Amino acid sequence: MSDKNHDRKYLIAGVGGVGGSIAGFLATAGHNVTCIARGDHLQAIRRQGLRLNSSLKGVITVSVKACTAEEYDDKADVIFVCVKGYSVESIIPLIRKAAHPESLVIPILNVYGSGQKIQRLANGITVLDGCIYIVSFVSAAGEITQMGKIFRIVYGARKGQNVAAGKQEAVRADLISAGIKADISDDINRDTFVKWSYISAMACTGAYFNVPMRPIQRPGKERDLFIELSRESAETGKKTGIPIPDNLVESHLQILDKLDPDTTASLQKDLAKGRQSEIDGLLFQMIRMGEAAGTKMPAYRKIAEKFSE
């Protein structure tokens, strides 16, 4: 991996709100970025560049390389995997094709355990784990809207993984140069669980009541449900042996209250439009893990009853 940060090749697999924001910010800072996209989104990026409508960057258009997974014929130093949880298997051929012996793969998915799953499927490639705090979405073909002041990526090696000295730090320096807050985790299993706990509670509450964040940000039944979901997942984490912070619920509320009140989670949007969604990874996987740990999960079960039909 080159020490010259603009020579380091970044591949962004999945250019939705998350991947598009990472790609756009890195490319704006002059880094070597290729996006994997498809359909009208890909054609618009090729034709006019990637347009960012960003609270942090303003409205800008940046030129980036873009192609389909089948068309990509290069090797990448860093591969950010930003697809939905249900698409993990479909991205493995691209990872195998794009990685070289020193590549780092950094999954940025909503669903807990994604890094371990990709590592099993792409054995021999260094797959870390990661998570992101951001509100962003595809607002038009070739356009990403990033809302609010939060854009933070947390990533790191799992226990027992050996990563050459300086590699993770080099990526962090690139992200910071692009205006992204980046942290290398000392316990990525804990940090990805904490993020999963938050996004699960937020997305499931919004989907259950079919509301944006506004009512969840003020006292009422919506906020009460978010709190109960956070408590159940915190108990699950602790029973599983994950060092969950004692103030997890308060921390979740602080993040929630910083969101734009009109924000809705992608899970809710997908369900409303009848599209494939991450409901298994954000709702039912949490229930499976909780019940295996011996956690009583009445709040999660309440939501499951609505979406089990």
What CATH number is associated with residue 278?
1.10.1040.10
* 85 shares its domain with 157: yes
- From 157, 186, 215, the end of a domain falls on 186
What pLDDT does 2 receive? 43
**Confidence (pLDDT) at 16:** 94
Residue pointed to by tokens 């912070």: 245
Could you tell me if 194 and 174 lie in one domain?
no
Note whether 134 and 164 are within 8 A (CB). Answer: no
- pLDDT tens digit sequence for 101-131: 999 999 999 999 999 999 999 989 999 999 9
Tell me which of 186, 209, 244 is where a domain ends.
186
Same domain, 155 and 253: no
Within a domain: residue 1? no
**DSSP characters for 58-124?**
EEEEE--EEE-TTT--S-EEEEEE-S-GGGHHHHHHHHHHHEEEEEEEEE--SSTTHHHHHHHHTTT
Query: Pairing state of beta strands 50-54 and 58-62?
Result: antiparallel
Total domains in the chain come to: 2
Residues 180 and 287 occupy one common structural domain: no
pLDDT tens, 91-100? 999 999 999 9
Q: Are residues 160 and 15 in the same domain?
A: yes
The residue ranges of the chain whose pLDDT is under 70 are 1-6, 309
Domain membership of residue 298 as a residue range: 190-307
Let me know whether 207 and 288 are in one domain: yes
Instruction: Determine contact, residues 281/86, Cβ cutoff 8 Å.
Output: yes
pLDDT at 5: 47
Which pLDDT tens digit goes with each residue over 258-273?
Answer: 988 998 988 998 998 9
**pLDDT value of residue 155:** 98
What predicted TM-score, i.e. pTM, was given to this entire model? 0.93
Q: Is residue 54 part of a domain?
A: yes
Q: Are residues 285 and 175 part of one domain?
A: no
> Which of 153, 186, 219 is where one domain is finished?
186
Q: What is the CATH number of the domain that holds 160?
A: 3.40.50.720
Residues 13 and 154 in one domain: yes
Instruction: Establish if 3 belongs to a structural domain.
Output: no
Does 4 reside within a domain? no
